[in-house]
Amino acid sequence: MGRAICAKFVANGYFVVAGDANAEALQDTTTALNKIGENALARPGDLRSKAYCEDLIDTAINLTGRLDALVNNSGIITRGTILETSDEDWERTFDINLTAIFYTCRRAVRFMKENGGGSIVNISSTWGVYPGPSHAAYCASKAAVATFFKMSWARPCGRRHQGQCCLPRGDRYSHASVRLCTSRFRSRHGGGRTQ
């Protein structure tokens, strides 16, 4: 899903700073996106690191001077009932699925609020609203993503910001619209945006 999101933004004139733990897959994605120009930058790293999460945002801003959009699409699916879920499974799932979103959103909102607004999309899951069996940590973390979005968005961001929380269901979305950092940079036709 992340590669398709990146491609859509690039097709619409955005410069994409993309993050992923899988450095090889991330490089493949950005190489493909850069075939027709300098459209994307790969920033591999560990989303459990606050410094890495904040660096994704800072890199987009430093490269372009803008941050038009943030898409939090990363996540891991941890299987297991409550009795089968270790402390490490629980902590890793919440660190990647929720805490990383908190770090990137907080950094992005601070910049967006002072610089004319922007859009943030956090990808949750229908299992965060309608939990499936034997996925205690995953379902709880995705429910927390949906609640985090509802609780944290409107007041600090104001009217010039857009935010959405998506609940993917197979190949469809059941709630709103699209971990990428973006900013207005340039398009192939002169102006452009960065993501």
Q: Is the dihedral of CA 79, 152, 4, 168 positive or negative?
A: positive
CA separation for the pair 37, 52 (Å, rounded): 26
Q: End-to-end CA distance of the chain: give it in Å, rounded.
A: 16
The CA dihedral of 194, 27, 4, 143, to the nearest 10 degrees, is -90
Active-site option among 14, 52, 103, 138:
138
Judge whether 161 and 120 are in contact, CB under 8 Å: yes
**Active site annotation includes 138:** yes
CA separation for the pair 21, 74 (Å, rounded): 9
Give catalytic residue positions: 138
